[in-house]
Amino acid sequence: MTTDSALDADRTASDFDDDFEPFDTEGAPELPAERYLDRELSWLAFNKRVLELAEDSTIPVLERANFLAIFASNLDEFFMVRVAGLKRRIITGLAVPSNVGRSPVDVLSDISKQAHELQIRHAAVYQDLVMPALAEAGIRVVTWEGLGTEARDHLRDYFSSQIFPVLMPLAVDPAHPFPYISGLSLNLSVRVRNSRTGRQEFARVKVPQMLPRFVRVEPSESIEDARYVTLEDLIANHLGDLFPGMEILEHHVFRVTRNEDVEIEEDETENLIKALEKELLRRRFGPPIRLEVTDDMDEVTLGLLVRELDVTEQEVYRLPAPLDLGGLFDLSRLDRPELHYPTHVPVTAAQLQPSDSNLRADIFKAVSRRDVLLHHPYESFATSVQAFLEQAAADPDVLAIKQTLYRTSGDSPIVEALIDAAESGKQVLALVEIKARFDEQANITWARKLEKAGVHVVYGLVGLKTHCKLALVIRQEKGTLRHYSHIGTGNYNPKTSRIYEDFGLLTADDQVGKDLTRLFNELSGYAIEKKFKRLLVAPLHLRKGLLKLIAGEVANAKAGKPAGIRIKVNSMVDEAIIDALYRASNAGVEVEVWVRGICSLRPGIEGLSENITVRSILGRYLEHSRIFSVVNDGDPQTYIGSADMMHRNLDRRVEALVRLTDPGHILEVNANFDRAMDDRTSSWHLDGDGTWNRNAFDESGHPLEDLQSSLMLEFAQRSSRTGQRR
């Protein structure tokens, strides 16, 4: 660490040591009541932006299919969590108003209207835009009716040998009650007539989820010109094999979405893992909240499903076949490079490149010289963060490793490094967040594997999710202990690190190491540490710290000094932060917000937010980094970390932001922000009424700059220049 940056750290030592009221609102004009956008509708607007990528003919067609699948998967999770939560509040009588003051009943009505419109549009994009483009590229999704005799014979053999044995038709009659329909499963409703008695019966056939959703018609067909049928279409045309002697009257496809959110009263359970496993089992039987049916379903069958599943008319979605376009993930993975984004190989960060290409870099030596700012996926996670932890595990001078794990991959080299470190006698602490939504079971599995290897596994603080991304290595060097730290904006997941955009800081700064030591002690034991020197930590003082920074910009603007605020987050919902930004705008502070998903802030409204600009960038990579930067009278302060501007992040999670002190790192982060906010960069612009307008082409119809593609090229060129110099 340089002398300048050491002094800089000292100047921040008391920045957040006091309690304060950051804004004196006495005498200030009252903010209007209707100053927020509805968070649920804003989320739907985000998913609409994903759908617009699927509509874009300039994007490779298999990537467009992937965006259709992402839209479907996103919407499933939205219903399982957000819609389920609203419905639960209504049923339990805890009808808390939304962030804009509306009742859950009214919000559900608005969601239903927009979700219906979006799902119809989603189906149309597949049928009218993506499917023809796929066919033009030699990927043809066909129906059974359009197949010839030879193709049908082949598929009949495939059905008999690979599909028929795993099907389980379930009858519904007085002796067979209506079967349980698992959440997100695809099902065939079948009405049959007994040829002897003439009586009509109902049955359900579940489409096996472990089989390919799109079945290749002829394996001998070239991958460049191949036909596919959906699995449910293939099953539907062999129902006679499942119901021999019965006349098939009707068959339709349907799908149920259930409440799959998890609730645990941590204060009332001694063993969090067992409680969570029990709750995960209960999740499978949550109440239905959405019923999707093909638009050709007859009223008799629909009436039976509505009655047995106990759903309302509002919760029924009639859609063109095929349902569950999340199945397009299978097609989008086809090995057709020309129909995908060009291959991108992340480069090794310049400071971490070895002096000899045949050697491995010494991460500790590089970081001890100077902080390293990482930008994934442009820079490799494997040769930086993963290599840092693997080197720590193998280094005999390393005494201890402490790390948080929120989400990680199923074959995680990070977990293996922690196991190797523990087995070699090092002290290893892993704080595993087993309540990470939809990754709970995987995290339980890893927690137990770590425990068996001798890792000290803890599950954080009661009532809080540990969402911060932290790793701390204690190394003995010449008789003294030195801290090596990593603080990131993304998870320790080698797989998502290739598709999520994130920043990370590798540092040997002693103050950061001491802060992390105290924070880990708080998370694993009973220490109560409210104040840190280089970190802002939620839930104790992150919001307060940010509000104080915003208040400082207001004071600077009123004094005629340089002022400005920049925030990049996944979601902007917290009312206190938004109100502070409104007041900053009214004081003349330029506020720029770069948000991927939800934004409840209304920009560009006279007298409220005319100095606030909001942009969103979606594309090949999922923009995931969180940045908070202020001009601070020409001495910019820039933080990166894990926190979004949401109640759950600021009040119910352990989050951490770290201040960057290297001037070059601050310039790099802000230069990236400059380009994101530039009108020559492809992005979406938010209006005050909640409308997102895509700005992707110039007046001549030429595509605007794709920020992610430009960064890929620049990092590759930078790496090449570094390699040549070496």
Which residues form the catalytic set?
A: 467
Tokens standing for 694?
């895509």
Which residues 6+ apart lie within 8 Å of 497 measured at CB?
Answer: 376, 377, 381, 385, 490, 491
404 touches 446 (CB < 8 A): no
What is the dihedral sign for C-alpha 626, 534, 350, 481? negative
Distance in angstroms (rounded) separating the CA atoms of residues 210 and 327: 12
Q: What distances in angstroms separate CA 540 from CA 247, 297, 396, 513, 532, one per listed residue?
A: 67, 54, 37, 19, 11
Calculate the dihedral angle through the C-alpha atoms of 376, 446, 422, 467, rounding to the nearest 10 degrees. Answer: 50
162 touches 216 (CB < 8 A): no
How buried is residue 179: exposed, middle or buried, by Cβ count under 10 Å (0-12/13-18/19+)? middle
Calculate the dihedral angle through the C-alpha atoms of 417, 344, 642, 563, rounding to the nearest 10 degrees. Answer: 140
DSSP 580-602: HHHHHHHTT-EEEEEESS-B-B-
Q: What distances in angstroms separate CA 354 from CA 198, 357, 358, 717, one per listed residue?
A: 79, 6, 8, 17
DSSP 368-402: HHS-EEEEETTB-SIIIIIHHHHHHHH-TTEEEEE
3-state secondary structure 37-73: CCHHHHHHHHHHHHHHHHHCCCCCHHHHHHHHHHHHH
The amino acid occupying position 74 is: N
Q: Extract the runs of DSSP E, i.e. beta strands, from 418-527.
A: 427-432, 456-458, 465-466, 469-477, 480-488, 500-507
Distance in angstroms (rounded) separating the CA atoms of residues 497 and 495: 5
Nearest Cα residue to 403 out of 476, 480, 491: 491
Nearest Cα residue to 79 out of 326, 370, 442: 326
The CA-to-CA distance between both ends of the chain, in Å, stands at 24
